[in-house]
Amino acid sequence: MADQKNENPNRGSVNVESAKGRNKLPNFLLSVRLKYVKLGYHYVISNAMYLMLIPLFGIASTHLTTLSIKDFLQLWENLKFNLVSVTVCSSLMVFLATLYFMTRPRGVYLVDFACYKPHVDCTCTRETFVEKSGLTGSFSEENLSFQKKILERSGLGQKTYLPPAVLSLPPNPCMAEARKEAEEVMFGAIDQLLAKTGVKAKDIGILVVNCSLFNPTPSLSAMIVNHYKLRGNVLSYNLGGMGCSAGLISIDLAKQLLQVHPNSYALVVSMENITLNWYFGNNRSMLVSNCLFRMGGAAILLSNRSGDRRRAKYQLVHTVRTHKGAEDKSYGCVFQEEDETKRVGVALSKDLMAVAGEALKTNITTLGPLVLPMSEQLLFFGTLVARKVLKMKIKPYIPDFKLAFEHFCIHAGGRAVLDELEKNLELSEWHMEPSRMTLHRFGNTSSSSLWYELAYTEGKGRIKKGDRTWQIAFGSGFKCNSAVWRALRTINPAKEKNPWMDEIHHFPVHVPKVAPIAS
């Protein structure tokens, strides 16, 4: 592990002086690479083959409606003695129909989802956090002060949650407590989801669970199979070590499985485990995650059954995944390792914001051709060609993603990234509100934060039929992933049961803007 540290000099302590130039994302919309634009259009072409057949069927159907019974009889008289023509026409019709139904992707519907809200005994105020951290005797006075400053600038409020094993004195980070936390979060969210949807556990054919840092044996997915007595042929997957963007990776995996397994339900569970991953050392790059990550999780039910479309909330339109792990700087910017005292923690590199910016730029550029109106695409592409190919010195055109989406759910990983995304994408405070309020109320709940944000949007009564929602998350590796959903019905907040509903009238709250001291 020492060799790894020497090979990655960018990982290390975080200090105030060097952080000033690193807490901003690069303006990724001003330096776009053509290859990512081409990749986006490749997705459009590869996924639109079946759409090309729709006009043919439309033209044929329109023409057939103009024919009378006499025309059909005359056509039959002309063809009944011409076996070759009849065979060719019939074969062509069968081929086109088969091609259409074989290439048409199955619709993937989000029936409902549920977010876990921990018990009030798990509440951790900023004062409680500092007090408990001091009483452990693990941190120096300088690093206690450092954590206090991080908390004050983090955007986290006074009602976030930590597991009992971390809040107890002395802390009790053991396997039994970690399993207990995992069970409370997973089973709590799944119980709510099954109650909301009325779906029986035996009906679930696909199970995908993601948790980055806690991967026991038997796996978390096996814990769910055992607890709910899922059927023996359930397709079970357990994703580990994939960071905060793993929730959308799970959605994408479930989507791919639903394309080949008809009439199926897929259960996706996204969470992170705090108990065994609390850092008790004094490496500042590892202390930041203590200040940001909090307890939480979500369960999502997907279906490809056509009958579920009527009651489902959303249809999955697109998923776009970007992985920058081939680059050493990206691979090492979020790294779990031992510090100099052999305590395990997750180190954050000084290059984290720059790496995140590159991953975001790639993902957004690839997604653009799939979602932006044609007018925006023409202006963007024309300007890009003029600058990159013709070498013209003109101002780059920044697409307006607000024309493509009504709602934005940006991973609540930290205040600095939310600030920079708001500026780079030219979003309003209203668009950023779900992400900021989720960070304030629940903290960084890793891969599940996107679902707390969508629950907030529903709780505010903002989701109307036809609205498009963009979920975007990033995490270690380094990865950036997007999912686009279209609302199939207007969501009535009065009928919703989610962790915001008993206090939604208190939000939004004003969070004072304070310059962060670290990236």
Instruction: Answer whether residue 79 shows pLDDT above 70.
Output: no
Burial label for 76, CB within 10 Å (0-12, 13-18, 19+), is exposed
Rounded CA separation 236/254 (Å)? 10
Top-confidence residue, 506 or 78: 506
End-to-end CA gap in the chain: 24
Predicted local distance difference test score (pLDDT) of residue 9: 43
Closest residue by Cα to residue 265 from 308, 221, 318: 308
Predicted local distance difference test score (pLDDT) of residue 378: 83
Residue type at 262 in one-letter notation:
P
List pLDDT tens digits, range 393-433. Answer: 877 667 889 999 999 999 999 998 899 889 888 899 999 99
Top-confidence residue, 340 or 395: 340
Predicted local distance difference test score (pLDDT) of residue 4: 40
Active site residues: 244, 323, 407, 411, 440, 444
Predicted local distance difference test score (pLDDT) of residue 382: 82
Look up residue 45 and give its DSSP letter.
Answer: H
Rounded CA separation 450/426 (Å)? 20
List pLDDT tens digits, range 316-337. Answer: 999 999 999 999 999 999 999 9
Strand ranges in 101-202 using DSSP code E only, listed in sequence order: 109-115, 123-124, 160-161
Look up residue 323 and give its DSSP letter.
Answer: E
Predicted local distance difference test score (pLDDT) of residue 389: 81
Predicted local distance difference test score (pLDDT) of residue 84: 67
Cα dihedral across residues 11, 12, 18, 22: positive or negative: positive
List pLDDT tens digits, range 342-393. Answer: 999 999 998 998 999 889 888 988 898 899 998 888 887 788 788 778 888 8
Predicted local distance difference test score (pLDDT) of residue 386: 84
Q: Give me the residue spans of the domains in the chain.
A: 109-500
Top-confidence residue, 68 or 185: 185
Rounded CA separation 159/171 (Å)? 20
* Strand-pair partners of 468: 486
Q: What angle do CA 399, 402, 405 make, to 5 degrees?
A: 115
How confident is residue 92, by pLDDT bands cut at 50, 70 and 90?
confident
Q: Which CATH class is domain 109-500?
A: alpha beta
Instruction: Answer whether residue 95 shows pLDDT above 80.
Output: no
Rounded CA separation 64/402 (Å)? 41
Instruction: Answer whether residue 303 shows pLDDT above 80.
Output: yes
3-state secondary structure 48-65: CHHHHHHHHHHHHHHHHH
How confident is residue 448, by pLDDT bands cut at 50, 70 and 90?
very high
Predicted local distance difference test score (pLDDT) of residue 251: 98
Backbone angles phi, psi at 117, to 5 degrees: -115, 110
Between 31-35, 96-100, 311-315, 467-471, the lowest mean confidence (pLDDT) is in 31-35
Tell me the helices (H) and strands (E) count for the chain, helix number first.
19, 13
Predicted local distance difference test score (pLDDT) of residue 15: 42
Predicted local distance difference test score (pLDDT) of residue 2: 40
Rounded CA separation 382/385 (Å)? 5
List pLDDT tens digits, range 17-55. Answer: 334 445 566 555 455 555 555 555 555 555 544 445 455
Question: Percentage of the chain surpassing pLDDT 70?
Answer: 81
Closest residue by Cα to residue 193 from 267, 260, 256, 250: 267
Residue 491 · residue 506 · CB < 8 Å:
no
pTM here is 0.84
Backbone angles phi, psi at 206, to 5 degrees: -135, 135
Predicted local distance difference test score (pLDDT) of residue 518: 38
3-state secondary structure 191-249: HHHHHHHCCCHHHEEEEEEECCCCCCCCCHHHHHHHHHCCCCCCEEEEECCCHHHHHHH
Percentages helix, strand, coil for the chain (3-state, rounded to 5) are: 50, 15, 35
Q: What is the mean pLDDT of residues 285-291?
A: 95
List pLDDT tens digits, range 174-224. Answer: 999 999 999 999 999 999 999 999 999 999 999 999 999 999 999 999 999
Q: What is the mean pLDDT of the chain?
A: 86
Rounded CA separation 254/232 (Å)? 18
